[in-house]
Amino acid sequence: MRKTVRIGAPGWKGVTGMELRQLRYFVTLAEELHFGRAAAREHIVQSALSQQVQRLERELEVRLLDRSTHHVELTAAGAAFLVEARQILDHVGRAAQAARTAAASAPTLRAGIIDAGYDSMPQILRAVQQRHPGLTIHQVEIGTPEQYQQLADGRLDIGIGRASLTPPDVASELVRLDPLGVLIPESHRFAGQEGVPVASLADEALLLGEDTRTPEFNQFVVELCRSAGFAPTVYEGTVASNRAAADLVLQGRCVLCVPSSSRTSNRPGTVWKPLTEPAAHYPWSLLWRSGDPSAHVTAVIESARHLADRLGWLATADLPAD
């Protein structure tokens, strides 16, 4: 697309528009007073430079340069035009720099999410975006251990996960106690029950997540089983997403412990049943670098508190906050 500067100053009758590159070529030629050197500076061929300057003169209806075989000289009109042309190019350069500076300084927030299928952090970030529409939010899908690393070295501003394994340089705040349940096929023996006692899982193969991504969730499930008096039978194999996990459940190869906030619990062909005896709630905490958080991190924390209060995320207040 051609960039044009429309000039309508009194006395410049007949001028409809000119390109920025024509002004730049003219200024370069006025400084060099030599077509070959000016063309070399602009990285174009000499004939193209000459054509653009001639087109500029036709637009202006005035001669800017006196040319001979071995000599180039500014006319009086050319000298006057040079002053204004330099100012125009200077203004354009400052405008471009101002735009780049503004873009570079636009507020951004880098937020870690474990899996796009969990809705806690997406809900929080939507609330933040409504309150701060000028804030650019980048969501990074990574496991909690890597969130700790990226929070510590500044690549991440805020994260979410269970805070039981939080290192000293990461702060946390509990924002949701998420009912834990089991995902089963519609034909499963548990499907007709209102809830599934944890001890009933002793005869089931449980699918756990990859330890590199969700060690804290795996630990929570294993500890829950042990509290009911058995060591779980873990399905041999892992999957990269909750969707793939649901596929294994549909095939009847395993059952999946998953919080109610996961979209996996709505997968057609499956049913999600809450765990009972004991009822279990998975603790989601916001994570950020220790010390005073930035204004944008504070906005996330405040939005999470409002959501937790409005939606009753922390209604089960007697559970441990790890």
Residues 61 and 47 occupy one common structural domain: yes
Residues 158 and 99 occupy one common structural domain: no
Chain centroid to CA 156: how far? Answer: 10
Beta-bridged to residue 256, according to DSSP, are: 183, 207
- Provide φ and ψ at 42, rounded to 5°: -90, 0
Residue 229 in any domain: the answer is: yes
Of 104, 126, 142, the position where a domain reaches its end is 104
Token match 């459940």: residue? 249
Distance separating alpha carbons of residues 21 and 49, to the nearest angstrom: 10
Give the domain extent around 127.
109-311
Average pLDDT, the chain: 86
Token pair listed for 266:
């709505």
Residue 319 in any domain: the answer is: no
Looking at the predicted structure, is the pLDDT value of residue 317 above 70?
no
Residues 131 and 267 occupy one common structural domain: yes
Residues 60 and 137 occupy one common structural domain: no
Name the band, by pLDDT with cuts 50, 70 and 90, for residue 104: low
pLDDT at 102: 66
65, amino acid identity = L
**Which residue, 124, 80, 87, is CA-closest to 287?**
124
Residues 189 and 210 occupy one common structural domain: yes
Name the band, by pLDDT with cuts 50, 70 and 90, for residue 105: low
Residues 156 and 270 occupy one common structural domain: yes
Residues 59 and 118 occupy one common structural domain: no
pLDDT, one tens digit per residue, over 304-316 is 999 999 999 998 7
Residues 161 and 287 occupy one common structural domain: yes
**Could you tell me if 138 and 157 are in contact, meaning their C-beta atoms sit under 8 angstroms apart?**
no
**Could you tell me if 108 and 136 are in contact, meaning their C-beta atoms sit under 8 angstroms apart?**
yes
Token pair listed for 296:
């944008």
pLDDT, one tens digit per residue, over 174-222 is 999 999 999 999 999 999 999 999 999 999 999 888 777 888 999 999 9
When divided into structural domains, the chain yields a total of: 2
Three-state SS for the chain is CCCEECCCCCCCCCCCCEEHHHHHHHHHHHHHCCHHHHHHHHCCCHHHHHHHHHHHHHHHCCCCEEECCCCEEECHHHHHHHHHHHHHHHHHHHHHHHHHHHHHCCCEEEEEECCCCECHHHHHHHHHHHHCCCCEEEEEECCHHHHHHHHHCCCCCEEEECHHHCCCCEEEEEEEEEEEEEEEECCCCCCCCCCEEHHHHHHCEEECCCCCCCHHHHHHHHHHHHHCCCCCEECCCCCCCHHHHHHHHHCCCCEEEEECCEHHHHCCCEEEEEEECCCCEEEEEEEEECCCCCHHHHHHHHHHHHHHHHHCCCCCCCCCCC
Residues 259 and 282 occupy one common structural domain: yes
HSE (side-chain half, CA atoms, 13 Å) at 51: 5
pLDDT at 245: 80
37, amino acid identity = R
Residues 44 and 176 occupy one common structural domain: no
Token pair listed for 138:
């980048």
296, amino acid identity = H
Residues 141 and 250 occupy one common structural domain: yes
pLDDT at 244: 77
Residues in CB range of 175: below 8 A, 6 or more apart? 120, 124, 160, 284, 285, 286, 304, 305, 307, 308, 313, 314
Q: Which residue has the higher pLDDT, 117 or 300?
A: 300
How many CB atoms neighbour CB 22 within 10 A?
A: 20
CATH number of the domain encompassing residue 187: 3.40.190.290
Residue 231 in any domain: the answer is: yes
pLDDT, one tens digit per residue, over 22-41 is 999 999 999 999 999 999 99
pLDDT, one tens digit per residue, over 248-299 is 888 889 999 989 988 776 778 999 999 999 999 999 999 999 987 788 899 9
By mean pLDDT, which of 8-17, 102-111, 208-217, 242-251 is the weakest?
Answer: 8-17
CATH number of the domain encompassing residue 34: 1.10.10.10
Distance separating alpha carbons of residues 250 and 244, to the nearest angstrom: 10
Of 104, 124, 142, the position where a domain reaches its end is 104
Q: Are strands 72-74 and 65-67 parallel, antiparallel or unpaired?
A: antiparallel
